[in-house]
Structure 1
């Protein structure tokens, strides 16, 4: 992919310098952008990769996505009898069945430049945005959104009405990561580049974002922006620093996430309170 990377980076420099734009891009530029989108959909390139224990954004891939918005004009397209206006058509899904994947009708949308692996199930209405990667054997359930550049691993279950946020800009920031064999309960929200470690199970309606602390009871530490691998996580509310404010009685509480060992089904309420207060 080094040749394609060189072409995208060169085109990005020209675009950034104002040498090329939507009104001046031609066949050569569009051929580069089309080859880039094809490589994304084929899974040959991706918006982020794991190096050692850390996920890092591939800046040039995110630049290529932004170039598709900056160098293309809005056109009219048809999908399911509906006319829509965008700079890109939706992804072609004819080959999904060849690799054992299915996307149910009436509202399932995969945008051009998104990768959907083998043996996946996309239940309607679900939306997978440009640059997103859905690994083999993953279920994207009804009313789910997989945001731009989000990296979803293999054999993941995204419960119904789950939101996986997108991180397209700034290009150096890694997107939301959900590693292999994760199960997210219905109504979960994962945003702002949060990393969900492999084999984890997350309770329904849990909000995972770098602004909310994760109380990891396994390693007895407080984390931000990540849930370690092999954890069972759920939402709790802990006392806020403004609990003693004169304007209200009864205390104020803020959300937190508690992470336990996968083998620990539940903790007694008194044990949870003791850990959180410590």
Structure 2
């Protein structure tokens, strides 16, 4: 049987109540370990782009949920700290051979996370289970990459950036940051939002499907995605609640403005690339 078939079989037994942590045997745990290994090598991913759209691989998300449902909490060691979780942290012995480095004192990579070649993880930072971080990507200090998030190649995540996780429902696509994107410090990307390739996002920008993106290039308002090759930043637009008596002088709501990336200087991005070469 394929790994997908084995995971689906375990899931149906677990979902029907026929399989619990108490009676899961060596065979079930062997499947779960093989599944986590496949995530870490990039053999399987929580989401993939098909026909121009990102789609969730539901069986992969179920495999992650099985690792939570069929394992008990254990005390584990991380340096001088004892933590309690159902999974250990990811082994990192394979990273140096691919030119990937994680700095000391706080770079945490959970079991089942993928890191590509020539990546840099600055401390403190955290990459969760099911996340996929592409080649040449920088995960800066105080960054969080949530469960199942898909980060492309040559991406720069500025310091204190939050990439949200989307594990449930399993059919929902996770947060995606496509190849070549650069996010300034303090950005937050949540709820399955897709950042298009080669976009530059200003510091402290919130990207979520609930906030409109005013795309000045195609002259349209879009939700849940930032088109490729855009420079994005936050502005405030008039809100309908401004007509209420309590809002003297009007009321405003946040929005994201997207312009052609070529309309702004790329000195900062170019300088970053030069430092990494």
* TM-score of the superposed pair, with normalisation by structure 1: 0.94
CA displacement, residues 158-185 of structure 1 (integer Å, 9 cap, x when unaligned): 0000000000000000000000000000
Equivalence map 1:260-271=2 (5 Å) = 260-265=259-264
Cα distance in 2 between the residues matched to 1:250 and 1:110:
49
Match of 1:66, SS state, is helix
> Could you say which residue in structure 2 is the equivalent of 1:218?
217
Equivalence map 1:34-183=2 (5 Å) = 34-183=33-182
CA displacement, residues 223-273 of structure 1 (integer Å, 9 cap, x when unaligned): 00000011110000001111121123121110000000011129xxxxxxx
Cα distance in 2 between the residues matched to 1:53 and 1:260:
21
Match of 2:148, SS state, is coil
Match of 2:236, SS state, is strand
> Could you say which residue in structure 1 is the equivalent of 2:184?
185
CA displacement, residues 30-61 of structure 1 (integer Å, 9 cap, x when unaligned): 00000000000000000000001100000000
CA displacement, residues 16-41 of structure 1 (integer Å, 9 cap, x when unaligned): 00010111101000000000000000
> Could you say which residue in structure 1 is the equivalent of 2:268?
none
Cα distance in 2 between the residues matched to 1:221 and 1:57:
26
Cα distance in 2 between the residues matched to 1:101 and 1:265:
31
Q: CA deviation at 1:112?
A: 0.2
Gaps of 5+ in 1: 267-278
Q: CA deviation at 1:95?
A: 1.3
Match of 2:243, SS state, is coil
1:257 aligns with 2:256: yes
Q: How many residues align?
A: 265
Match of 2:82, SS state, is strand
Off by >2 Å, runs of 4+ in structure 1: none
* TM-score of the superposed pair, with normalisation by structure 2: 0.95
Match of 1:237, SS state, is strand
Cα distance in 2 between the residues matched to 1:5 and 1:36:
9
**Cα RMSD over matched residues?**
0.9
Cα distance in 2 between the residues matched to 1:233 and 1:194:
14
